[in-house]
Structure 1
Amino acid sequence: MDSPAPDPIVPDPAAVALARILAIMARLRDPADGCEWDRAQSFATIAPYTIEEAYEVADAIDQHGRGMPGALDALRDELGDLLFQVVFHARMAEELGAFDFAGVADAISDKMIRRHPHIFGGEAASAGWEAMKAAERAKAAEAAGRAATSVLDGVPLALPALARADKLQRRAARVGFDWPDADAVLPKIDEEMAEIAEARTTGDAERISDEVGDLLFSAVNLARKLNVDPEVALKKANSKFEGRFRGIEDALRADGRTPEQSSLDEMEALWQRVKHRGA
């Protein structure tokens, strides 16, 4: 009796899809037959697109959270755009002989296994999560030929300013440099407001800018002590403002006018009306 035929090997769909996008990227960057625009790019020119795609992922997630139809389809597409950015950077690094996409994937896999010894085996971690990350930052600094001398090392300069302020404050708080609670921050905000008022009397634009920056930094401190993400809070405030101002425009349009053709008092009255409707 003949032996049963072995089961056919079914390719992993994820592996097939990944191989496809890597091949597409290689073709786009081909020196002879590739896309002229893609061949001309560098890490620096692609970086803004990478940041933009990350924000578009966040926007799709926000749409899903608000129950908007099609949000998960949008998230799939935006995650694909973000993945393409990773593939693009990895391909350029491979062309320089530095690393390739496999190296990127292996590096993050190794890091996650190292940070979760209680999940993937090995001895229990003797240091906490933050201590492990600090050790990793020190190792990276050593490899780059510089000393890691500050708990603030490694906070990316490219972060949005509010998010970076929050991260800097959290780092400093780990070593005890922090306000005890939100009540302690409030007087600091009053102090910064007074310093802005004083700076305005001088007419010194640079000083005024500095004092406004200090106020914003203190506001981030207050948000942190209240367990509020300042970036998310400001995003919500932006959305609220946009919705209410569009309401003003709609009301004026119904009256055959534009904001330019109305007074501030009229627009303020419409703002209050929109606000009271819960917008």
Structure 2
Amino acid sequence: MNSRQTQLQAFDRLLTIMDQLRAQCPWDKKQTMQSLRHLTIEETYELGDAILEDDLEEIKKELGDVLLHIVFYAKIGSETNDFDMADVCNDICEKLINRHPHIYGDVEVNDEADVKRNWENIKLKEGKKSVLEGVPKGLPALVKANRIQDKVAGVGFDWEKPEQVWEKVQEELQEFKEEIEFGNAEKMEAEFGDVMFSLVNYARFLDIDPENALERTNKKFIGRFQYLEQKAKKLGKPLKDMTLAEMDVFWEEAKKADNRSER
């Protein structure tokens, strides 16, 4: 791997290129933090996809794209004398030092749970009014539910055993079933939300990332359905003209192909 000096030289090269682009490129000169925001979100999702696929070459490329955006924001900040790349780096360094007293201080911890509890308590001492204050409002609901549960667990608000969480899942499922029987759409939606929230909590106890799990299922479904489409195309028969039994034959073929590739 590259030496620390080589890594620093590469980072300096990126900062220099950013200076040049901001000064000379019509597109780069025009950008603002607001115009970059949606692009940054897109790049972050692309990085997430690469991680999910465990494609290290693609991860490297997407990390570069995300890093470029960080450098871009810092450059814009420097133009108004609000902050620059050094400020960004030093701020995160100070935060890491302050929130790891078991490394940089005399606090003792026994395990990861102690570290997380300390982290959340330190954040409250820093002026946070709520443990949940740091959960972004714009997060997708599934990710947000996971982060909410993770954060409150960090200060001890949690179940003791996975079995208790599973009982809660079953309880919420029963309540959902009852509302289905009553046919009240608003209450059905509310109970369905409770079922989802409890399942996310159970996943956390099993060390399953619910977002990753659902996205893997999405990808698996897409792959199988596209296989079905390809088979229908070869037969010259539109899907809408096929019976469910006919489609199920190809669906099972796709499932077998998936199972073979996973071995």
TM-score, length-normalised on structure 1? Answer: 0.75
Aligned residue for 2:44? Answer: 54
- In the alignment, which of 31, 35, 39 is matched to residue 29 of structure 2? 39
Higher relative contact order (CA closer than 8 Å, sequence separation 6+)? 2
* Greater fraction of residues in helix: 2
Taking the aligned partners of 1:17 and 1:108, their CA distance within structure 2 comes to 20
Secondary structure of the residue aligned to 2:201 is helix
User: 5+ residue gaps in structure 2?
Assistant: none
CA shift digits 1:171-220 (9 cap, x unpaired): 23343354743432232341353255157x34x5x555444333322221
Matched, 1:242 2:222: yes
Identify if the C-alpha distance between structure 1 residues 41 and 130 changes in structure 2 by more than 3 Å, giving closer, same or farther: same
5 Å matches for 1:71-220?
71-117=55-101, 119=103, 122-125=104-107, 128-138=114-124, 142=127, 148-173=128-153, 174-178=155-159, 180-182=161-163, 183-194=166-177, 197-198=180-181, 201-202=183-184, 204=185, 208-220=188-200
Identify if the C-alpha distance between structure 1 residues 222 and 138 changes in structure 2 by more than 3 Å, giving closer, same or farther: closer
Relative to structure 2, which stretch is displaced further, 260-269 or 162-171?
Answer: 260-269
Amino acid paired to 1:90: A
Question: Percent sequence identity over matched residues?
Answer: 35
Amino acid paired to 1:125: V
Give 1:118 deviation, angstroms.
Answer: 5.2
Taking the aligned partners of 1:233 and 1:11, their CA distance within structure 2 comes to 36
Larger Rg: 1
Q: Contact 2:124 / 2:130 at 8 angstroms: preserved in 1?
A: no
Q: Contact 1:43 / 1:89 at 8 angstroms: preserved in 2?
A: yes
Identify if the C-alpha distance between structure 1 residues 243 and 11 changes in structure 2 by more than 3 Å, giving closer, same or farther: closer
- In the alignment, which of 5, 16, 22 is matched to residue 15 of structure 2? 22
CA RMSD of aligned residues (A): 2.9
The aligned length equals 250
Give the 4+ runs in structure 1 shifted more than 6 A: none
Identify if the C-alpha distance between structure 1 residues 208 and 39 changes in structure 2 by more than 3 Å, giving closer, same or farther: farther
Taking the aligned partners of 2:161 and 2:202, their CA distance within structure 1 comes to 11
Q: Contact 1:60 / 1:74 at 8 angstroms: preserved in 2?
A: yes
Taking the aligned partners of 2:118 and 2:82, their CA distance within structure 1 comes to 25
5 Å matches for 1:246-265?
246-265=226-245
Identify if the C-alpha distance between structure 1 residues 133 and 230 changes in structure 2 by more than 3 Å, giving closer, same or farther: same
Q: Contact 1:137 / 1:153 at 8 angstroms: preserved in 2?
A: no
Secondary structure of the residue aligned to 1:98 is coil
